[in-house]
A = this chain, B = another copy of it.
Amino acid sequence: MRATIIHGPGDVRVEDRQEPEIKRPGDAVVKVAASCVCGSDLWPYRGAFRTPRPRPIGHEFVGVVQDVGPDVAALAPGDFVVAPFLVSCGQCPRCRNGVTAACGYLASWGGTDEAGFAIDGGQGQYVRVPRAESTLVKVPVAEPDRELAASLLTLSDVMATGHHPAVAARVGPGRSVVVVGDGAVGLCAVLAAKRLGAGPVIAMSRHADRQALAREFGAAAIVEERGPAAAAQVRGLLGGVLADAVLECVGTREAMEQAVACVRPGGNIGFVGSPSGGSELNVRELFNKNITIGGGLAPARTYIPELLEDVLAGTLDPGRVFDVEMPLESAPAAYRAMDERRAVKVLLRP
């Protein structure tokens, strides 16, 4: 089969790789129907994370079950499935608490399972899925069309990840929301906030194309400023008060400071940008503003069923976040387009 392998910074190649097969009784093998490139795939691509040896990359995919191990009863060949961006067991206390991204048996696409068997990356033609029953979510549609498949693919990561800070910041009916970050996750956070009934949603963005998508997703206003000027503009837009909830979808120190500056006393910050650059929160500042802040890796597996329902009902359409589509063989070009910010998010078709 063909699969995308990262060799080092700036060096992503589509190569031949052995087609996976069932290794353990709980495994499934999935034929990938669609995959994509994540902002976090750019970290090793940009050298922010080391790549000590070549490895398969990609952690978002949807596809069709090809084969299952003897312990897999809930899935059968032919089922269309969504794979969350991490493997989880569904049974440990953390999974039972809904925190599947901290599962005691967590495994990553492109890594190895607990028995030491390699796991394929999502940006390839086939993937062996360990703990398939607890990891994959079956979609009750045999052959989703292109548009539906794109929306289903966002449930792997970006839509679930945009939903997480909205849940963490207790977004709900009538609550005003600011979204910091106009990447694919930030845009999905706008959608998530609207879905939860948020009052005005304000998106922070300086890019015309992303502003347009944010508005399409339900943002009532766009703030282009940064720092105190942005907070002042938010205050103006909200009739003299800051936001009830701020969703931080970047992960830099500046973005977190922007979030703190835009939230009202007693308000909530949800964060999902993976923290880079030694971000620290000053407890005194949180204390003084009485802010509640929560977030982390989204428990995508927990959120998928609820989001899936709305995607299937046609009321949630996050697939529009893909502005470019390429064949799998063009993965290197997809990485370049994302790295150079020429694309918000690239969908890959094997």
Among listed A56-64, A194-202, A282-290, A311-319, interface-contacting one: A282-290
Q: Which of B274, B280, B290 contacts A101, CB < 8 Å?
A: B290
Among listed A29-37, A264-272, A337-345, interface-contacting one: A264-272
- The answer, yes or no, to whether A279 is at the interface (CB within 8 Å) is yes
User: Do the beta carbons of B266 and A287 come within 8 Å of each other?
Assistant: no
Query: Given A264-B93, A265-B102, A266-B102, does the pair A289, B284 have CB atoms closer than 8 Å?
Result: no
In the complex formed, the residue of B with least CB distance to A282 is B280
**Identical subunits present:** 2
User: Do the beta carbons of A93 and B287 come within 8 Å of each other?
Assistant: no
- The answer, yes or no, to whether A118 is at the interface (CB within 8 Å) is no
In the complex formed, the residue of B with least CB distance to A238 is B93
User: Do the beta carbons of A275 and B284 come within 8 Å of each other?
Assistant: yes
User: Do the beta carbons of A279 and B284 come within 8 Å of each other?
Assistant: yes
- CA distance in complex: A233, B107 (Å): 28
Which chain A residues in 235-282 approach chain B with CB under 8 Å? 240-241, 256, 264-266, 268, 271, 274-275, 278-282
Query: Given A293-B292, A294-B293, does the pair A97, B283 have CB atoms closer than 8 Å?
Result: no
In the complex formed, the residue of B with least CB distance to A265 is B102
- The answer, yes or no, to whether A190 is at the interface (CB within 8 Å) is no
Residues of B within 8 A of A283 (CB): 256, 271, 275, 279-281
Q: Closest Cβ of chain B: how far from A288's Cβ, in Å?
A: 7
Question: Per-position contact with B for A167-199: 1 when CB-CB < 8 Å, else 0?
Answer: 010000000000000000000000000000000
27 chain-A/chain-B pairs, Cβ below 8 angstroms: A94-B266, A97-B264, A97-B265, A97-B266, A98-B266, A99-B264, A99-B266, A101-B290, A102-B265, A102-B266, A102-B289, A102-B290, A266-B299, A279-B282, A280-B280, A280-B281, A280-B283, A281-B281, A286-B295, A286-B296, A287-B296, A287-B297, A290-B295, A290-B296, A292-B293, A292-B294, A293-B294
